[in-house]
Amino acid sequence: MAVAQHSPDPAARATPLLRIIPHRHALPSLLRDLGLDRVGVELGVWKGSYSKRLLSELPDLTLHLVDSWEPVDIYQSADKQNDAYAETLTAVEPYTERTRVHRNWTSDAAKSFEDESLDFVYVDASHDYRNCRADLIDWWPKVKVGGLFAGNDYYTGHVAAAGVTFGVKDAVDEFAAVRNLRVYVTAGNDPDGCCPDWYVLKCGE
């Protein structure tokens, strides 16, 4: 019996599969196993608790912390934002040599990074659809091919605890669909929050 065979198509190569991690606390081990533990960016830092986790578990990592620490979304108090900034500096103090703090809007900070210069970007800034979508568009080119694009709170809908409507899931799903990307979702919710995380392997432009 003749078996039909298709000629190889470089554009149709199989996308490598990633393992499903339970929640975002397991992301550092995934990054380490993938060899993506040298230079990364965290968008949306707040008080630096996740920054501290990444730096403590990835000893070779240089981490760029990007946050405006300005009143936005539910964080409307300038005083509280300044307090959060101070708490961040305290949280990452043991890792000062490997930490770069950018007190800036994410859209402006993106301009200071070369394309394909980062092992990973972790998106956890504004959670509304418009701003999340803008972060995805601005920062995707900064991740190298073979790098990881990830983020927190993969959910769309009103979140009573936050008092705002999230649009992260819609923004991520739309972004991935037009680029033919596979979106991975953690098996469980963020232990410190309400929603799962998402992550994508960058296999091409």
Residue by residue, pLDDT tens for the chain (205 residues) are: 444 444 455 444 444 579 999 999 999 999 999 999 999 999 999 999 999 999 999 999 999 999 999 987 655 677 889 999 999 999 999 999 999 999 999 999 999 999 999 999 999 999 999 999 999 999 999 999 999 999 999 999 998 877 889 999 999 999 999 999 999 999 999 888 889 999 999 998 7
Topology adopted by domain 18-201: Rossmann fold (3.40.50)
Report residue 59 CA to chain centroid gap.
19
- Token duo for residue 104: 């800036």
Q: Residue 48: which residues within 8 A CB-CB, separation 6 or more?
A: 65, 87, 88, 89, 90, 91, 92
Largest CA distance in the chain: 76
Phi, psi values for residue 108, rounded to 5°: -75, -40
Look at strands 143-151 and 198-201 and give their pairing. antiparallel
Of the candidates 16, 15, 205, the one whose C-alpha atom is nearest the C-alpha of residue 115 is: 205
Q: Please give the Cα distance from 171 to 163 (Å, whole number).
A: 19
Of the candidates 176, 168, 148, the one whose C-alpha atom is nearest the C-alpha of residue 26 is: 148
- Token duo for residue 71: 């009143």
Check residue 9 and give its pLDDT: 52
Q: Please give the Cα distance from 184 to 155 (Å, whole number).
A: 13
Q: Please give the Cα distance from 185 to 98 (Å, whole number).
A: 29
Check residue 7 and give its pLDDT: 47
Q: Please give the Cα distance from 45 to 67 (Å, whole number).
A: 6
Phi, psi values for residue 62, rounded to 5°: -100, 120
